[in-house]
Chain A
Amino acid sequence: MAEAITFHYDVDGENFTSAGNASVQVKRKLRQLGFPPEIIKRVSIAMYEGEINMVIHASGGSADVTVTPEEVRIVLTDHGPGIADVALAMREGYSTAPDNIRSLGFGAGMGLPNMKRYTDTMEIDTEVGRGTTITMTVKVA
């Protein structure tokens, strides 16, 4: 079996226009590795949503992606405010994004639900005041 490959990206919290760049990079890598389009789509959407969340709520963070032929694991880490009520945050349509972010078309309350929908496993490790780490995996069937 081939060894795992890891990719690390810093997600810049200052720059809204570059949000989603890491997701684009990962998409390119998975394409080069020959993953099926379905897997690439799921990984890139889940990662894109996660990136946007880190920019909106946590002034950025980092994304670590581990790839093996069996699965793609995405770990998103930030040192933002943390999520006070995870169950509530997971509800479709629930959002704490400020108005100026909503005016850009974000903050529809679909970020976390989409991340869960497009991945096989998702774990949220969060503490108010400390930050949030989200670990997602997409398994190659």
Chain B
Amino acid sequence: MTNEYRHSVSLDRDKCKGCTHCLKRCPVEAIRIRDGKAQINANRCIDCGVCIDVCPNKAKKATSDKLEDLKKFKYTVALPAPSLYGQFDNLDDIDYILQGLLDLGFDEIYEVARAAEVVSGMTRLYLNRKDIEKPVISSACPVIVRLISLRYPYLCENILPIQPPIDLAAARARERALEKNPGLRPEDVGVVFISPCPAKVSYIKNGLGGKKSDIDLVLSMSDVYFDLIGVMKKQLTPEPISRTGMIGVSWASTGGEATAIFNDKYLAADGIENVIRVLEQIDNGNFPYLEFIELNACSGGCVGGMMTVENPYIAKARLQTLKRYLPVSENWDFRDDGENSDIPEKYFSDPVKYAPVSALSSNMSEAMEKMARIQEIHKTLPDIDCGFCGSPTCYCFAEDVVKGNADISECVVMMREKKQKAAKEKNHEDS
């Protein structure tokens, strides 16, 4: 099946009380409450993680690999996301974190921030091309890419067709590890991404870029954080490992990627609801001329990911301190001033394909009959979107009834009215 997508957001059925928090907040209406438990529709879910955030019972969880899994490999390379740098208090040097990762057992580090700087360079070159759709939309947030592929057929070609930083970092990390250690076979090397969010975990597991991901394991940033805190207490001066400039660090929060195009015709938005509003408006064509659009599903950008520890705004403030004395970029692989101004084919990703999931039927007459019935049923519903029936809105409930996934008797409000009416009639008869 084409729509089969492996998700990393899942439900702990024992903890789920069947309340309506996630139901009401899911931005793509992918959740229903059935038999007192939440159900996630895998075809619709975009892995944004909002349901994890809003669940009062901690019943939604994101699966990731564990630090013990490093043992499966002879040689491991850690790929820390730039957002990791904003998680620690009183830190004036990224190298303390990278040293900490080595102390946890990694053999080598390849910062995703470095790859981000390379991607920024390629993006600037790509924007110079005359044959492309503008505005170019960032491909870094997998939630956004999936959302566009499900809903916005005409925006698919606006997505930057260049590998996102994690893919580039993974390929380079493996290459470098094998170069440095000629005795190793490719399968001996474990490339381990430290992720701020479940969406990137899913992205990697699905190999969304078209190819099988070069990343072998994905660890949750919050898991690694607590291990790191333990080893980072050493007062020793760390080895100078970091090779990241301001641009790479800035990718961790909203606006970092967009400002790195060195052109003020950009927009940067975050928070899934805001992002959907922006996409709707671009889709309608009523938009000022823009070169580049950076969209992040999480508030604040990647520092707001569900697997981070620190408040995103505090993390962003810390990043400001960390990048103060850094050069603009340390990775100028591509620049538009001469020799390296062509983007090699290997850095392009497959085009994003439109794959809608919302059609009521593959036959239009049938779809129209269904929609007519949905509208009929919707008219009879209270339209207060209480969620007691297990659908997020009355309209959704009408859809679910027509699709055969719910029964009209599940509308609590309607049933109560019926009961009251019956009671009244009975009183009438009695008196």
Contact = CB atoms under 8 A, between A and B. Distances in A.
A29 B358 CA distance: 9
Contacts of A31: 151, 356, 358-359
Interface string A26-38: 0111011111010
B153 interface: yes
Contacts, number: 71
Contacts of B283: 27, 41, 44
Interface in B349-399: 354, 356, 358-369, 371-372, 375
Q: How large is the interface on B (under 10, 10 to 19, 20 to 34, 35 or more residues)?
A: 20 to 34
B286 A34 contact: no
Contact of B367 (A23, A33, A45, A68): A33
Interface string A56-82: 000000000001110000000000000
B286 A3 contact: no
A3 B369 CA distance: 8
A3 B151 CA distance: 26
Nearest to A34: B359
B365 A45 contact: no
A123 to B, nearest CB: 22
A105 B288 contact: yes
A82 B126 CA distance: 47
Interface in B318-368: 354, 356, 358-368
A138 interface: no
Give the one of A2, A35, A40, A48 with max B CB within 10 A: A2
A34 B154 contact: no
Contacts of A37: 153-154, 354
Given A45-B285, A48-B286, A2 B364 contact: yes
Contacts of A45: 284-285
A52 B284 CA distance: 12
Nearest to A23: B284
Contact of B280 (A20, A29, A34, A49): A20
Given A20-B284, A24-B280, A33 B154 contact: no
Contacts of B154: 37, 41
Contacts of A24: 280
B365 A69 contact: yes
B213 to A, nearest CB: 29
Interface in A101-116: 105-106, 114
A49 B281 CA distance: 11
A5 interface: yes
Nearest to A31: B358
Contact of B368 (A48, A67, A114): A67
A117 to B, nearest CB: 11
A1 interface: yes
Nearest to A45: B285
Interface string B256-297: 000000000000000000000000110111101000000000
Nearest to B372: A5
Contacts of B367: 32-34
B375 A44 contact: no
Contacts of B285: 45, 48, 114
Interface string B142-153: 000000000101
A105 B267 CA distance: 15
B286 A2 contact: no
A129 B25 CA distance: 45
Nearest to B374: A32
Nearest to A52: B286
A33 B354 contact: no
Given A44-B283, A45-B285, A34 B362 contact: yes
Interface string B52-87: 000000000000000000000000000000000000
Contacts of B372: 2-3, 5
Interface of A: 1-3, 5, 20, 23-24, 27-29, 31-35, 37, 40-41, 44-45, 48-49, 52, 67-69, 105-106, 114
15 contacts: A2-B365, A2-B368, A3-B368, A5-B368, A5-B371, A20-B280, A20-B284, A29-B371, A34-B360, A34-B364, A44-B283, A48-B284, A48-B285, A48-B286, A106-B286
Given A33-B359, A52-B286, 4 more contacts: A5-B368, A41-B154, A44-B283, A48-B285
Q: Which 4 A-B pairs have the closest CB atoms?
A: A37-B153, A2-B368, A2-B365, A48-B284
